């Protein structure tokens, strides 16, 4: 989906969304069973992807496949077409399960103009990084001449296992022989692996300053073995588990404003600014005790980055009136992430690691925002209640096999 708003930079050609992501030949449910097994060495990682795709394509040598699923070697690459001297807009989306990517176009520099739908002041770079669920819009000027061709590269980073970590797509200029592969060479990649780009890269085009927080929530991320020997991710000691029969929003709506919210422990729900003052901000401070990073995604908000790095947080924040804003930031391995957001959007908002296997193993909390407004003023559509009734009826006579957290 592309939402067109006021343009911040001019361009000539919009190449549309470009999906970049790891790819597994094994089914999700089989992977989850493996990754939540009592084998810690397997569980703490994310398995090994088979391939890396650009708009659904990349070559793969089927002799290295680990499953019996149908496979075609050298299935082909995606192709893109540039015009000499024209400015092209590319909208990259990491839609993968786990793999962090570095993306570049041989001999072409990119100007970052948006990150996670937040317009940015243009920054020229040679390589960009995208964690799972991050998006980035770039402008690329066609520096080639008719007949030229170049490689677009997407490289899975070493914190993610991959049989085929490099994805390639071909960029052709008018008159280029599309039966021939490009012979261009890659830019040197000087970005640190498995981390967000330097915060100075992202200066929001429309300036905004977070106000002092009315509430701070401290979250410790850990990796634990439960009583059955299976490995789970926890936030403040709780591994999330959903209950579709009792949605958090409906529980909030059914609770009197005079009564404290009392959710089951496994809901991992936090009341955020439960009063009616919608001018206040909240801060989330994550401490990651495990040597694996997490792309943390908050629904319904843009987050202001206050601090991010290895080791524990020392209380200092980024000293700028216009800090980076986006909706996915990495909490580094054995590090910390501190973000602020304007708590003015009533609802129940997921806040979670976007790595599929970590999310499936419970790395998820819920921000119940403006709960008094929800209880007194929110009108839940009848269609939502009806959908719940259909589900309740279904589960009354069919046992739902929930292999993971339910997400």
Digit-coded pLDDT (tens) for 113-126: 999 999 999 999 99
- For 184-218, the pLDDT digits (tens) are 999 999 999 999 999 999 999 999 999 988 899 99
- In this prediction, residue 261 has a pLDDT band, given cuts at 50, 70 and 90, of confident
- In this prediction, residue 407 has a pLDDT band, given cuts at 50, 70 and 90, of confident
- In this prediction, residue 402 has a pLDDT band, given cuts at 50, 70 and 90, of confident
Asked if the model's pLDDT at residue 289 lies above 90, the reply is yes
Q: For residue 205, which of 115, 84, 82 has the smallest C-alpha distance?
A: 115
- In this prediction, residue 41 has a pLDDT band, given cuts at 50, 70 and 90, of low
Asked if the model's pLDDT at residue 278 lies above 70, the reply is no
- Cβ-Cβ contacts under 8 Å for 142 (sequence gap 6 or more): 82, 83, 84, 85, 86, 87, 88, 108, 173
Range 322-347 average pLDDT: 97
The Cα-based distances of 98 to 93, 131, 191, 338, 349 in angstroms read 13, 8, 19, 22, 22
What DSSP letter does each residue of 9-48 carry, written as one string?
S--SEEEEEEEEEEE-SS-HHHHHHHHTSS-HHHHTTT-E
pLDDT at residue 124, as a whole number:
98
The Cα-based distances of 339 to 142, 289, 347 in angstroms read 37, 18, 19
- In this prediction, residue 275 has a pLDDT band, given cuts at 50, 70 and 90, of low
Range 170-183 average pLDDT: 97
The Cα-based distances of 391 to 207, 245, 366, 386, 398 in angstroms read 44, 7, 22, 9, 10
Range 261-272 average pLDDT: 93
396 by Cβ neighbours in 10 Å (0-12 / 13-18 / 19+) ranks as exposed
Asked if the model's pLDDT at residue 128 lies above 90, the reply is yes
Q: For residue 407, which of 368, 349, 350, 331 has the smallest C-alpha distance?
A: 350
- For 356-394, the pLDDT digits (tens) are 989 999 999 999 999 888 988 899 899 988 999 999 999
Asked if the model's pLDDT at residue 220 lies above 90, the reply is yes
The pLDDT mean for the chain works out to: 93
- In this prediction, residue 291 has a pLDDT band, given cuts at 50, 70 and 90, of very high
Q: For residue 104, which of 136, 74, 62 has the smallest C-alpha distance?
A: 136
pLDDT at residue 111, as a whole number:
98
- For 58-85, the pLDDT digits (tens) are 999 998 888 888 888 989 999 999 999 9
Tokens of 20: 């970049």
pLDDT at residue 397, as a whole number:
86
Give percent of the chain above pLDDT 70: 97
Asked if the model's pLDDT at residue 176 lies above 90, the reply is yes
pLDDT at residue 277, as a whole number:
59
- In this prediction, residue 183 has a pLDDT band, given cuts at 50, 70 and 90, of very high
Buried b (16+ CB within 10 A) or exposed e, 200-239: ebbbbeeeeebeebebebebebbbeeeeeebbbbbbeebb
Structural domains in the chain plus CATH codes: 13-188 (2.60.40.420), 213-395 (2.60.40.420)
């Amino acid at each position: 989906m592309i939402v067109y708003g006021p343009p911040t930079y001019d361009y000539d050609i919009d190449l549309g969304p470009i999906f970049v992501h790891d790819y597994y030949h094994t089914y999700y449910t089989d992977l989850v069973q493996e990754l939540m097994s009592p084998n810690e060495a397997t569980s703490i990682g994310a398995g090994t992807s088979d391939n890396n795709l650009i708009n659904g394509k990349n070559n793969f040598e089927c002799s290295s496949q680990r499953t019996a699923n149908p496979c075609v070697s050298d299935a082909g690459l995606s192709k893109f077409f540039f015009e000499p001297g024209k400015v092209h807009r590319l909208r990259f989306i990491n839609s993968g399960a786990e793999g962090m990517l570095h993306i570049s176009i041989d001999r072409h520099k990119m100007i970052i103009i948006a990150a996670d739908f937040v317009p940015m002041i243009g920054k020229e770079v040679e390589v960009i990084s995208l964690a799972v669920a991050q998006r980035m819009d770039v402008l690329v000027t066609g520096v080639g001449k008719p007949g030229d061709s170049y490689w677009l590269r997407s490289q899975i980073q070493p914190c993610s296992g991959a049989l085929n970590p490099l994805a390639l797509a071909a960029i052709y200029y008018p008159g280029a022989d599309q039966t021939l592969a490009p012979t261009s060479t890659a830019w040197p990649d000087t970005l640190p692996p498995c981390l967000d780009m330097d915060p100075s890269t992202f200066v929001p085009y429309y300036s905004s300053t977070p106000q002092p927080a009315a509430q701070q929530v401290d979250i410790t991320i850990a990796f634990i073995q439960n009583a059955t020997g299976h490995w789970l991710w926890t936030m403040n000691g709780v591994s999330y588990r959903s209950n579709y029969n009792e949605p958090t929003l409906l529980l909030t709506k059914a609770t009197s404003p005079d009564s404290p919210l009392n959710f089951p422990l496994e809901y991992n729900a936090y009341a955020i600014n439960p009063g009616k003052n919608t001018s206040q901000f909240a801060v989330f401070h994550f401490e990651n005790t495990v040597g694996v990073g997490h792309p943390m995604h908050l629904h319904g908000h843009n987050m202001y980055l206050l601090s991010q790095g290895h080791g524990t947080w020392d209380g200092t924040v980024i000293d700028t009136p216009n800090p980076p804003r986006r909706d996915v930031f990495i909490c580094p391995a054995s590090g910390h992430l501190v973000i602020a957001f304007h708590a003015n959007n009533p609802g129940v908002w997921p806040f979670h690691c976007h790595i599929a296997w970590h999310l499936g193993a419970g790395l998820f909390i819920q921000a119940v925002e403006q709960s008094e407004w929800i209880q007194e003023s929110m009108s839940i559509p009848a269609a939502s209640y009806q959908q719940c009734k259909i589900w309740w009826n279904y589960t009354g006579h069919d046992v739902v096999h929930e292999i993971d957290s339910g997400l």
